Amino acid sequence: MNSMWMLSVVAAGFVALTCAPTALSDGRRYYAHSAAHDRFGVIAPWYQGANGQVDWRVHVAADTLKRYPWTDHPAPAPHYVFNGHWHIASDGTITIPPLSDWDNGDLGQRAAYILTSLVDYYRYSGDPAALAHVAITADALLKFECTDAQHPWPHFLVSVPIKGEVYGRANEHGLIQLDITAEVGIGLLKAYEVLGEKRWLDAAKRWADAFAAHCRPHPTLSPWSRYANPQDAQWEDLQTGGVVFIIEFLDEVMRCGYRGKGNAVLHARNAGVAYLRNVLLPQWTTDDTWGRNYWDWPDPVQAENVTEFVARYLMTHPREFPRWRQDVRNILTLFLNRTSVAPESGGGVYSGAWAYPESSGCCGRSLWYGPLELAPVYAEYGVRTGDAWATEMARRQMILATYDATPNGVVEDNIDGGVIVAGDWFKIAHPMALKHCLNALAWMPETFGPTGENHIMRASSVVRNVHYGKGRLAYDTFDAPPGCVDVLRLAYRPKRIVADGHELHQASGRGRLGWSVRPLPGGDCIVTVRHDGWRHVVVEGPDPQTEVAAGSRLTYTFEGNQVRVLGTAGPDGGLAQLVLDGAPIRTLADSWCPQQREDQVLAWINGLPEGRHTLEVLPLNKHNPLSQGDRVRVKAFQSFERAVERDWGAGGGPRSPQRVIFGYSRRQDYTDHEGNAWRPATEWIARLGHLADIVRGAWYTHPV
């Protein structure tokens, strides 16, 4: 590198940095809670329950989904299936405001969050209510939101239904935005993988055939436009980074065994990968490369959701993207730089944690759901690379982002307190939060996972059925491809793990079938299981939980900080009121599920004060509109008495020098004569203005 060039870009970058005002907070409140700090002055959890702040946020989101008001038109379903607007009072009461055609445009993205988050939630919790809501959402999409057989894209999802009957059929002249349809398709396939409903797979195959039929490979242009019906769109029909949603959808279709006629789906997928690798990645600093996805504006700027999907795709396909380590890091941190430009947002560092908006153009001081989405991606990057910097970035961002909610479901997304986006858009308040909190738990189980509990934290395949029994965790996966690795957090050290009848052995080293264990303080363990080719896994060991068979009187008195109710869910399941220590719990236990499932977690309460508690299960002789009966079948209660002190990772992060070059825009790191790697400088801010392009305005990418 020319030394004159290096000095000039460092100096120019320093001017931009020092001219940017520092992000400030009064230190007393972030979002919905008073701030807490560790001994280093870095953000610390406000929540002190044994389950931890991220698991607590999962409960708030899931409970809000499960207690959501229902409609009976056009089909029985929670209102959120058809209406993305909501209002929640300070006491947690949910009401549903009227919906305009335009405001129904988030239906596709909302459905994608609901489907994918609830499939993950079932794996994590064993709660069959998740599967019930998955089935309702998937069926509604296919019944009300697709084109007809005569359309050029037949039986295809109208992913942005801004025209048509609200709470009814979508009009084909609404926006058929292809990347959003693909994102929904991923969720639809996950629903098929967990519940096995062939009609959902058939629909996804039709969508894949349409993508393949309309694929137009080109050396410099996207194989697909942004819309299937550009004549109905208000803005340019340009597809950029959103192509990653399409290729991930096509990957998932092929995982389900379908490649189209003459491998057309495979060929279309490969065209999309070539565009990402050969066109988009070399243009990684162009503002709209990782944008043009939000449904309600052209979005010609880097956006959080494209950033997430691209980063994850590169990490999971390292052979096709050999520079993924540098590309993922560059794209993730470029987003920090880009979203700092708007003075009205004030994106930057708060108590040591980055907080930033969804883009350089929206949405004011709502600095919450950007980090909520991207912190788990930093966490995944940290696991895959061993990079302590990425892990600490994830930890701090996730702690601050989960300051957002209150126990009754109210979400304050303004970092200064109050509501900006989450008060109107339900998908952002809870389905999105559920998905991303589960992702954070998946990739940081030792830091964020609940203590003294048993969970499948992440799995290489969709978990189709899971039984969380005392001393026996049994689960089935959709498939078990080569490299199939699952990560569990358990309250005990396993004695035996069996997969499809084959006893697995403790294995040392990566790439070997078997299991390994990493003890945590307090008696918990992180267990990693590799089971290529085998789908049924059973983990056994000396579980410290107490499990008591339920009698005719459904009352359980226990010592500890958590309790579960195990039982049967099925098509005739009914509703029950839970009463804890004499106080009714707002969310009812619903035993309805479209499929009969045994030994399921019908209710799950944790984070309680240590001590004696009493739980009552009171069948109400009522059911939701889809159930065929009122049956509440409780089999057992579980509790846990051991008090465990949490370790949430204070004091982590890199200890070695971090070398950066301001204005350096190449994808690969610069290596100096001593072998040190220098990366592009991206973790800095410059308040250039709303929608300003910081690379054009403040990166001096050529010698001066």
One domain, residues 190 and 324: yes
Judge whether 621 lies within some domain: yes
Show the CA angle centred on residue 445, arms to residues 442 and 451, nearest 5°.
130
> Sign of torsion, CA 400 404 407 409?
negative
One domain, residues 86 and 113: no
For residue 216, give Cα distances in angstroms to 57, 271, 327, 407: 43, 8, 26, 50
Taking a C-beta distance cutoff of 8 angstroms, is the pair 384, 444 a contact?
no
| Lowest-pLDDT choice from 144-148, 161-165, 172-176, 373-377 | 161-165
Q: Pick from 540, 556, 588: which residue ends a domain? A: 540
One domain, residues 422 and 475: no
Domain range enclosing 667:
656-698
Q: Pick from 522, 540, 558: which residue ends a domain? A: 540
Say how many domains are in the chain: 5
Strands 597-605 and 562-569: antiparallel
Supply the pLDDT for residue 5.
31
Contacts of 242 (CB under 8 A, 6+ apart): 178, 179, 226, 292, 293, 306
Judge whether 11 lies within some domain: no
Taking a C-beta distance cutoff of 8 angstroms, is the pair 453, 489 a contact?
yes
Supply the pLDDT for residue 700.
84
pLDDT band at 8 (very low <50, low <70, confident <90, very high): very low
pLDDT at residue 24 tops 60:
no
One domain, residues 28 and 47: yes
pLDDT tens, residue by residue, 179-205: 999 999 999 999 999 999 999 999 999
pLDDT tens, residue by residue, 294-313: 999 999 999 999 999 999 99
pLDDT at residue 337 tops 60:
yes
The domain spanning residue 198 has which CATH number? 1.50.10.20
pLDDT band at 703 (very low <50, low <70, confident <90, very high): low
One domain, residues 476 and 573: no
Judge whether 14 lies within some domain: no
pLDDT band at 538 (very low <50, low <70, confident <90, very high): very high
Average confidence score pLDDT of the chain: 94
One domain, residues 518 and 561: no
The tokens for 390 are 């990425």
* pLDDT more than 90, % of the chain: 90
C-alpha span between 376 and 116 (Å, rounded) = 15
One domain, residues 517 and 394: no
Judge whether 703 lies within some domain: no
Strands 660-661 and 677-680: parallel
pLDDT tens, residue by residue, 378-434: 999 999 999 999 999 999 999 999 999 999 999 999 999 999 999 999 999 999 999
pLDDT at residue 121 tops 60:
yes
One domain, residues 438 and 566: no
C-alpha span between 672 and 659 (Å, rounded) = 11
pLDDT band at 27 (very low <50, low <70, confident <90, very high): low
Judge whether 648 lies within some domain: no
C-alpha span between 514 and 512 (Å, rounded) = 6
Question: Taking the CA of residue 191 as centre, how many other CA atoms within 13 Å lie in the half-sphere pointing to its CB?
Answer: 34
Q: Report DSSP letters for 166-222, one per residue.
A: TTSPBPTTSB-BHHHHHHHHHHHHHHHHHH--HHHHHHHHHHHHHHHHT----SSS-
pLDDT at residue 58 tops 80:
yes
The tokens for 7 are 């000095």
Strands 612-619 and 555-559: antiparallel
Cis (ω within 30 of 0) for the bond into 152? no
> Sign of torsion, CA 99 100 103 109?
positive
C-alpha span between 679 and 181 (Å, rounded) = 36
Supply the pLDDT for residue 87.
97
C-alpha span between 423 and 105 (Å, rounded) = 17
Judge whether 562 lies within some domain: yes
597 exposed, middle or buried (CB, 10 Å; 0-12, 13-18, 19+)? Answer: buried
In which element (H, E) is residue 456 found?
Answer: strand 455-458
One domain, residues 300 and 200: yes
Looking at residues 14-33, what average pLDDT do you find? 54
The tokens for 604 are 């799950």
